Every structure is written in structure tokens, then in C-alpha cells.
């Protein structure tokens, strides 16, 4: 299981992931784009820029580092009203 960690998630998201790891005996990989976080990219810079750097880039890095060729992706979707 790969958790794309932007460091801007709700505490409940971390708890949910921890519970799944224990219940299903999963190997958890935390993927973060540390370089971009150090550079100060955050949600105030707009969703496209923020999500591209903090989520899409981190996912690409994680996939590159893993040997698997099969992936199942689950994305949490909520409104940003």
C-alpha cells in the first residue's frame, strides 16, 4: 500500500491507513515529494500546481522505485468549497 503524503491531510486519513495496514497485513510505503515540500509548495498556490507537485510527482516517484507493474489506485474525493 502506498500513501501519497502531502502533509496536508486530515488526521483521520492517517488513522484509516494505519488500520488497513494492520487489518490486512500490508506493507506500507509512504511517498512524499520532500524536495517540493522544502521549496514551500502548498495548497495556497492553487490546486493544479499543488496537486501536481505534491501528489502526481510523488506517485510517479513511488512507482519508479517499486518493482511491480500492476497498480490499483484509490483516490479520496471531496469538495473544496
Kindly provide the b/e burial profile for residues 1-20, where b requires at least 16 CB atoms within 10 angstroms of the residue's own CB.
ebbbbbeeeeeeeeeebeee
Domain that holds residue 53: 2-65
Domains of the chain: total: 1
Separation of alpha carbons 72 and 78, rounded Å: 20
**Hey, is 30 helix, strand or coil?**
strand
Examine residue 45 and state whether it is found in any structural domain, yes or no. Answer: yes
Tens of pLDDT, residues 17-59: 889 999 999 888 889 999 989 999 888 888 888 888 888 889 8
- Phi first, then psi: what are they for 3, rounded to 5°? -105, 115
Examine residue 11 and state whether it is found in any structural domain, yes or no. Answer: yes
Separation of alpha carbons 76 and 78, rounded Å: 7
pTM of the model: 0.72
pLDDT at 68 over 80: no
Amino acid at each position: 500500500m502506498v500513501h501519497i503524503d502531502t502533509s496536508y491531510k486530515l488526521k483521520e486519513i492517517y488513522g484509516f491507513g494505519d488500520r488497513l495496514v494492520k487489518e490486512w497485513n500490508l506493507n506500507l510505503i509512504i511517498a512524499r515529494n520532500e524536495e517540493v515540500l522544502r521549496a514551500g509548495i502548498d495548497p495556497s498556490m492553487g490546486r493544479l500546481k499543488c496537486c501536481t507537485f505534491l501528489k502526481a510527482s510523488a506517485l510517479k516517484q513511488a512507482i519508479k522505485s517499486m518493482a511491480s507493474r500492476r497498480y490499483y489506485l484509490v483516490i479520496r474525493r471531496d469538495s473544496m468549497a
